[in-house]
Structure 1
Amino acid sequence: MIHLPVLIADLGLILAAAGVITLLFKKIKQPLVLGYILAGLLVGPHLDFFPTITDYKNINIWGEIGVIFLLFSLGLEFSFKKLVKVGGSASITAIVKVVFLIFAGYGVGMAMGWNSMDSLFLGGILSISSTMIAIKAFEELGIKHKKFAGLVFGVLIVEDLVAILLLVMFSTLAVSQQSAGAEMLMSILKLSFFLVLWFLGGIFLVPTFLRVTKNLMNDETMLVVSLALCLVMVLLADQVGFSPALGAFIMGSILAETTQAERIEHLTKSVKDLFAAVFFVSVGMLIDPKILVEYATPIIILSLVVILGKILFTLLGALLAGQPLKTSVQAGMSLAQIGEFSFIIAALGATLNVTSSFLYPIAVAVAAITTFASPYLIRLSEPFYDLLARVLPQKWIDAISRYSSSTAGITTLSDWKILLRSYIFNTIIHSVVIISIIFLSYRYVQPFIANHFANEESALVISVAVSFILMSPFLWALSIRRIQKTAYSHLWLNKKYTRGPLVAIEFFRIALGIFFVGFLIYEFFETWVAVVIALSLIVLGMVIFSRKLQAFYNKLEKRFMLNLNDRENQKPDILPWDTHLTELKVSPESEVVGKTLAELMIREKYGVNIALIERGRNTIPTPGRDERLYPNDKLLLIGADDQLASVKGLLEVELPEINETSFPDKEMTLQKVVVNSLSPVFGLSIRNAGIREKAQALVVGIERGDAKILNPSSDFVFDTGDVIWIVGNNKKVKEVI
């Protein structure tokens, strides 16, 4: 009889227990993650009345694979461009929330008599909300179309990146066992360097590879290639001293920028679900019921800290970011849980043997309690806001409303800000590329040439030459390329006192390029005479071949930008009051199909404006009353939550996933314009101003004093001090108003 390997028997037991328990949890409509944890508790070593697994080492390996694919999946939903587009509101909210909760967790841990390392890891565990739980709860409650959902998703995106940073920082602290500022700074700089390098290299190579091999990729090969790319990045991250989970997250984020992102996410979902189930079951195996009983009081205290702290600090961060009170309250009560990243942080402390044995089970118990409470808190968020609105002094509510309205307008960057921001990005990006070329050449290219093709001296010369050829386009871009010509010209011509700083900046750029060339040569030859001679020849060569370098660099930049914008997904700005932009798709079975907008009277009946229609490859901004709706038209709508919900029922479709559809290159945003006596529209009615015809824009609201007018009539006459809210193309609106 063939002996069944222990690994297969244990895996069968795990999946059987997970399957039975999760079916039960599905029946009672509870999060499946809790079911997996309970299944792990049942088959773990601490309960004797169920069959128990025998080989914990192999199960831990499967759990680590689960973490890798879980982080890969989160990366596919992350996207660096989404991080840029979530804007300041989500970033400020997330940072305020995380920082305050880390301090709160650390303080509570120290107050309970725990050591400093346990308290620090506790702060990290409590600070990160669960992306998986929040998204799942939103789907089940059917509220993804509501205004606050956009802020919640933005906060979760920022928190994912912050969690990665926390993993690196905690790893450094755990190894050094002290708050070593220099080591912490070096770890952060090292992380930043490799994040930039991997992002640049990944965006330049991966989308191009997928585009070239598109015709060869069926579902099977796409799955294999995607997992291979994930594991290659895992290997690279491990080689440079980071956690494998970071590599998986980075590759997921790179693939999220490609046109194949949705397909890859769909194909890898089953793999992720399988290994994630094993991971969460392995988490449950570490729970000792005796520890839970012994530490029942800390578990209850920490659960209250998570729920109350996240509501309070998210509310504070959102209000500071300029969000309305209602949105802030709803976002806070939607993020009052911990989840997958909390498990990973707790597992890091246990793996490095720097935290006490009770911390991991406590973290899991707190996650279970807050996850269970999360859907109920989300349901109660609107009634809780209504209670606050009745209890808080009216002057507080008015002050919050004024602050929120004042931060929602268009922000104009000065020429200095535009120029300095561009120079900083230019310097960081090209410095990273140049340093990586020097490092790779010195570490790998020169030894390879010396061992296989030439003697050591010839290998040095060849390596320097190859390195400089590869560096040349980036040296030109770093030191010579003119950036933001318009802003530069304004500063040079209009303000004489700015010429000194501009000259200093250009001198610094050239000096930095010369430094990198000298550093390259000195790394190989270590003699200053050789450095000076070679440096002179190289600088002369760069001046002579400047045009060719420019042409070659422009090709590289064009290819990079093509790959970066392959999956453009422009997210409209958040609107004033309770209105916001969302997208709906006309179902072929809808009763609106074939009817004109005049016949449907959507604006009159529901108070919802149609800002844009996307029909195939064609887009119709601010459609007229005679425009008809056809099956699968994508509508960009502006309205309040209840208004959009009514229109959703009319169109008989489900709202699309956040950021999954787009209206590329149309720049349809909400803009705030203040009318003065010199404005072209001063004294004119909306109809006579011709805003719709000239700018393809739509006036959706006007503030006059304390009065707010939604959907103003076409006879409304503009006066000095009026604040106009317009949906349209940013450039065209500025030309008309």
Structure 2
Amino acid sequence: MERTPAGKQDSEQELFMTHLPYLIRDLALILGAAAVTTLLFKRLKQPLVLGYILAGLLIGPNFPLFPTITDPETIRIWADIGVIILLFNLGLEFSIKKLAQVGGTAVITGIFEISGMLVLGYLTGQALGWSTMNSIFLGGIIAISSTTIIFRAFEELGIKTQQFAGVVFGVLIIEDLVAILLMVLLSTLAATNQLFSTEMLTAVLKLVFFLVIWFLGGIFLIPSLLRASRRFINDETLLVISLALCLGMVMLVTSVGFSSALGAFIMGSILAETVYGERIEHLLKPIRDLFGAVFFVSVGMLIDMTVLVQYAGPIALITVAVIVGKAVYVTLGSLIAGQPLKGAIQTGMSLTQIGEFSFIIASLGLSLRVTENFLYPIAVAVSGITAFTTPYLMRAAEPVYGWLENRFSKRTRIMLRNYSAGARSIGSVSDWRLLIRAYLQTMLINTIVIAGIVLLTSRVLLPALVNGNMSQAWAKLLTGLGSLVLMVPFLWALALRPVYPATYNRIWADKQAYQGPLVVLNSVRVVLALGLILFYLNQHFSFTLMILAMLLIGLIWWLMGKRIPFLYDRIEKHFLVNFHGRQQHQKNRPGRNLLPWDAHLAYVEVIPESACVGKTLEELAIRERYGVNIISIERGRITRLVPNRYDRLFPGDKLAVIGTDSQLEQFRTLVEEDGTPITTPVHEVSLERITVDEAFPFVGQSIWESQINEKTQGLIVGIEREGRRLLNPDSTTLFLLGDVIWLAGNTRLIREFQRQIRVH
């Protein structure tokens, strides 16, 4: 074994000892400053992001009075890790299902707002005399609102459960997706310096291609791997695996020319669809908070106070543009989408700020060296001001609505109400629209999958085999054959698989004039499949071997012909099982799929400062005031099921309660400081469904006479009867044949009671 020379070893050790203290000192300084400002801003009830930025400003080069960092490059690397963690967490919260569930209102509002703000930002930059690139980046910076600030403001104001909040959350999902697209487009624009170019179109198509490939491949493989390893997964291994997958996707994405932030976001959205999504999000929280603090402190360190003073006028103008522009564009977009005036104004006034993605877009311009140094601190200053004004603007939404309502004529008010009612009633989907959407989806997904298989085998697998000392001829033959076997099921689905056959046959039989367009749709599918076959031949075979390859395709098709539909169905079923895994898991969890009233089981903890401490349940009148039922009280190692009205609540009590989202949200304000649910109950409680039929021994008896509550240590929280729902029925309510009883309490005793009924 070769030994390191003594002199070289000493120099390496000296270099290590020189850098280690700087790293620790800088990190200690950052976290210490962040800790102080966190406490201060928590006390002032202001967003912590602003506290972190202030901390960075104080320990930056602007204030010699305070200690400052010694190695900015190391902190910049940590900040890059912070961006990756933040985007990974955003992906976990994003979820492709949430995008699919976003209503047309949010889509229309989001696209209208983002388009308007991009134009407004560009025009504002041009009015200030800035360069074209600075103006374009300014448009991207002010187009995206802050998810963090809005969530915090909604929680503080207690309006998370109001109807317009759902539209706001939907718009934020659209903004997150557009922000990812903007980062790619702005990077391409910086490289080409042309807004409308072939490179720009290529970048968009490349992004769509890789997004579909990564998502489909990730959903097909990752949940299966996690499910196969579930016996060995605990919190530690799950955290390590999820971070490894995140960084692996970052490496993959950057290798094809996209940003690391995009890779982290994609892997987060993939893991969000697994049964571990919620658990990963919980485990990641402390790491996200740590590196998020480092990132936002580094944002503050990049602020130059002289620049802020010098550009005070542009900062004021851009701030006004953000607040007024977003309020107007979001309100108009919501009205166009069919929202009532009040909801549209509330939505508009809630989105009047910029935040995390704005910093990332601003730093992107700096890293690409296409924007001036002043743009970054301006973006930070505008974000700070708009974050501060957001809660006040949210509170002002109702007065603004009242003011506008009084100034509109009666005719205008009637017109707006009629338009809103008409727009929201347009919910029917024609057969043609359904069929065309299904055809487009089939063609898009299968085309991208086939192209991905061909490119993966020809551009990655083939060079790997050749570099592994396999002959060129054998490597081409193996990759060509493997690619063909993999793509055959998707070729069949693209060209021949029936799409909504019942709808297709109904349209075909409806009118002879419709038969022509249907033939065209099928012809397009076949032509597209033939084009992909030619693409495959061109990638894997020389011109002289194409005839032989086509004969090979025919042979494989003949051999696999009857099995192809079966293979594709298995692939599709496997994907759908993985895709819906988290949803199915939550549906089957005890206490999740409980009531047809959208009520569910939740766990809350009584904090020492709560107003309910020391009071009895009778004094609090929780069921009467909030509509929720307390199923159990866990106090230390003691759990009291279905407490009576004389039981008191004490600090640290963990309550299992049942109610709807809005009821639970109101109840949490009574017992919790921040509404954070306790996710791991010690004692299992659930709510079960019991049907009253001829075998039910208490038909005609009242709830009190049956003594069901006492026998099961449970509580009857609802009865379905002839389509009506009786919530919290009185003890004198009689059981009738056909009733459906919802009984909450001790899971073991309730299920034992159900077995006794069946035996009886």
Q: What TM-score bracket applies, with the shorter chain setting the length?
A: 0.7 to 0.9
1:559 counterpart = 2:574: yes
1:173 counterpart = 2:166: no
Q: Between Structure 1 and Structure 2, how many residues are aligned?
A: 630
Counterpart of 1:255? 271
Counterpart of 1:721? none
State how far apart, in whole Å, the 2-side matches of 1:99 and 1:437 are: 35
410 and 634 in structure 1: CA distance in 2 versus 1, 3 angstrom threshold: farther
Counterpart of 1:440? 456
Task: Kindly indicate whether the alpha-carbon contact (under 8 Å) linking 1:6 and 1:54 is maintained by their aligned counterparts in 2.
Answer: yes
**1:437 positional shift:** 1.0
1:462 counterpart = 2:478: yes
**Runs of 4+ more than 6 Å apart:** 586-591, 599-602, 643-657
**1:558 positional shift:** 0.5
Counterpart of 1:549? 564
State how far apart, in whole Å, the 2-side matches of 1:539 and 1:505 are: 24
Alignment-mate amino acid for residue 575 of structure 2 = F
* Map 1:234-245 → 2, pairs under 5 A: 234-245=250-261
**1:281 positional shift:** 0.7
1:520 counterpart = 2:531: no
| Equivalent in 535, 546, 552 of residue 531 of structure 1 | 546
* 1:530-578 Cα distance to aligned partner (Å, 9 max, x none): 324432442354255322111111111111001111122999xxxxxxx
SS in 2 for 1:322: coil
1:314 counterpart = 2:330: yes
Task: Kindly indicate whether the alpha-carbon contact (under 8 Å) linking 2:146 and 2:354 is maintained by their aligned counterparts in 1.
Answer: yes
Task: Kindly indicate whether the alpha-carbon contact (under 8 Å) linking 1:476 and 1:546 is maintained by their aligned counterparts in 2.
Answer: no
**1:430 positional shift:** 1.0
Counterpart of 2:371? 355
**1:388 positional shift:** 2.1
Task: Kindly indicate whether the alpha-carbon contact (under 8 Å) linking 1:430 and 1:478 is maintained by their aligned counterparts in 2.
Answer: yes
Counterpart of 1:41? 57
Counterpart of 1:675? none
Counterpart of 1:119? 135
SS in 1 for 2:478: helix
1:336 counterpart = 2:352: yes
465 and 569 in structure 1: CA distance in 2 versus 1, 3 angstrom threshold: closer
Counterpart of 2:398? 382
State how far apart, in whole Å, the 2-side matches of 1:226 and 1:349 are: 30
Task: Kindly indicate whether the alpha-carbon contact (under 8 Å) linking 1:71 and 1:245 is maintained by their aligned counterparts in 2.
Answer: yes
* 1:482-502 Cα distance to aligned partner (Å, 9 max, x none): 111111111222222222222
State how far apart, in whole Å, the 1-side matches of 2:182 and 2:98 are: 20
SS in 1 for 2:563: helix
State how far apart, in whole Å, the 1-side matches of 2:246 and 2:327 are: 35
State how far apart, in whole Å, the 1-side matches of 2:666 and 2:295 are: 41
| Equivalent in 495, 500, 503 of residue 487 of structure 1 | 503
1:50 counterpart = 2:63: no
1:282 counterpart = 2:298: yes
State how far apart, in whole Å, the 2-side matches of 1:275 and 1:289 are: 25
Counterpart of 2:340? 324
TM-score (norm 2): 0.77
Task: Kindly indicate whether the alpha-carbon contact (under 8 Å) linking 2:121 and 2:135 is maintained by their aligned counterparts in 1.
Answer: yes
Counterpart of 2:248? 232
State how far apart, in whole Å, the 1-side matches of 2:247 and 2:584 are: 27
**1:181 positional shift:** 2.2
1:145 counterpart = 2:161: yes
1:136 counterpart = 2:152: yes
| Equivalent in 423, 429, 449 of residue 465 of structure 2 | 449
1:568 counterpart = 2:586: no
448 and 600 in structure 1: CA distance in 2 versus 1, 3 angstrom threshold: closer
Task: Kindly indicate whether the alpha-carbon contact (under 8 Å) linking 1:584 and 1:656 is maintained by their aligned counterparts in 2.
Answer: no
Counterpart of 1:25? 41
1:59 counterpart = 2:78: no
Task: Kindly indicate whether the alpha-carbon contact (under 8 Å) linking 2:604 and 2:676 is maintained by their aligned counterparts in 1.
Answer: no
* 1:85-120 Cα distance to aligned partner (Å, 9 max, x none): 011111111111111011111111101111111111
18 and 107 in structure 1: CA distance in 2 versus 1, 3 angstrom threshold: same
**1:21 positional shift:** 1.5
Alignment-mate amino acid for residue 349 of structure 1 = G
**1:306 positional shift:** 0.8
**1:184 positional shift:** 1.0
Counterpart of 2:233? 217
Counterpart of 1:393? 409
Counterpart of 2:689? none
Task: Kindly indicate whether the alpha-carbon contact (under 8 Å) linking 1:441 and 1:463 is maintained by their aligned counterparts in 2.
Answer: yes
Structure 1 window deviating more from structure 2 (208-217 vs 316-325): it is: 208-217
Task: Kindly indicate whether the alpha-carbon contact (under 8 Å) linking 2:359 and 2:379 is maintained by their aligned counterparts in 1.
Answer: yes
1:103 counterpart = 2:119: yes
* Map 1:1-16 → 2, pairs under 5 A: 4-16=20-32
State how far apart, in whole Å, the 1-side matches of 2:418 and 2:667 are: 30
Counterpart of 1:722? none
550 and 312 in structure 1: CA distance in 2 versus 1, 3 angstrom threshold: same
* 1:358-406 Cα distance to aligned partner (Å, 9 max, x none): 1111111000000011111112222222222222223222222111111
State how far apart, in whole Å, the 1-side matches of 2:540 and 2:665 are: 67
Task: Kindly indicate whether the alpha-carbon contact (under 8 Å) linking 1:586 and 1:651 is maintained by their aligned counterparts in 2.
Answer: no
SS in 2 for 1:197: helix
* 1:400-450 Cα distance to aligned partner (Å, 9 max, x none): 211111122262222221111111111111111111111111112223333
SS in 2 for 1:567: helix
Structure 1 window deviating more from structure 2 (442-451 vs 43-52): it is: 442-451
588 and 347 in structure 1: CA distance in 2 versus 1, 3 angstrom threshold: closer
**1:206 positional shift:** 1.3
366 and 311 in structure 1: CA distance in 2 versus 1, 3 angstrom threshold: same
120 and 421 in structure 1: CA distance in 2 versus 1, 3 angstrom threshold: same
Alignment-mate amino acid for residue 551 of structure 1 = F
Alignment-mate amino acid for residue 550 of structure 1 = P
Task: Kindly indicate whether the alpha-carbon contact (under 8 Å) linking 2:275 and 2:585 is maintained by their aligned counterparts in 1.
Answer: no
Counterpart of 1:182? 198
241 and 65 in structure 1: CA distance in 2 versus 1, 3 angstrom threshold: same
Counterpart of 2:643? none
State how far apart, in whole Å, the 2-side matches of 1:277 and 1:594 are: 41
SS in 2 for 1:408: helix
Task: Kindly indicate whether the alpha-carbon contact (under 8 Å) linking 1:514 and 1:535 is maintained by their aligned counterparts in 2.
Answer: no
State how far apart, in whole Å, the 2-side matches of 1:39 and 1:433 are: 48
* 1:649-702 Cα distance to aligned partner (Å, 9 max, x none): 899999899xxxxxxxxxxxxxxxxxxxxxxxxxxxxxxxxxx978x5889xxx
Structure 1 window deviating more from structure 2 (182-191 vs 581-590): it is: 581-590
**1:191 positional shift:** 0.5
**1:261 positional shift:** 1.0
**1:456 positional shift:** 1.8
Segments of 5+ residues of structure 2 without an aligned counterpart are: 1-13, 587-596, 607-611, 633-654, 678-719, 727-760
**1:648 positional shift:** 8.0
363 and 650 in structure 1: CA distance in 2 versus 1, 3 angstrom threshold: closer
Alignment-mate amino acid for residue 574 of structure 2 = R
555 and 153 in structure 1: CA distance in 2 versus 1, 3 angstrom threshold: same
Segments of 5+ residues of structure 1 without an aligned counterpart are: 572-580, 617-630, 658-691, 700-737
1:92 counterpart = 2:112: no
State how far apart, in whole Å, the 1-side matches of 2:315 and 2:238 are: 44
Alignment-mate amino acid for residue 288 of structure 1 = D
Task: Kindly indicate whether the alpha-carbon contact (under 8 Å) linking 2:212 and 2:445 is maintained by their aligned counterparts in 1.
Answer: yes
SS in 2 for 1:547: coil
Task: Kindly indicate whether the alpha-carbon contact (under 8 Å) linking 1:102 and 1:120 is maintained by their aligned counterparts in 2.
Answer: yes
State how far apart, in whole Å, the 1-side matches of 2:81 and 2:200 are: 28
1:508 counterpart = 2:534: no
State how far apart, in whole Å, the 2-side matches of 1:31 and 1:649 are: 19
Task: Kindly indicate whether the alpha-carbon contact (under 8 Å) linking 1:586 and 1:653 is maintained by their aligned counterparts in 2.
Answer: no
47 and 587 in structure 1: CA distance in 2 versus 1, 3 angstrom threshold: closer
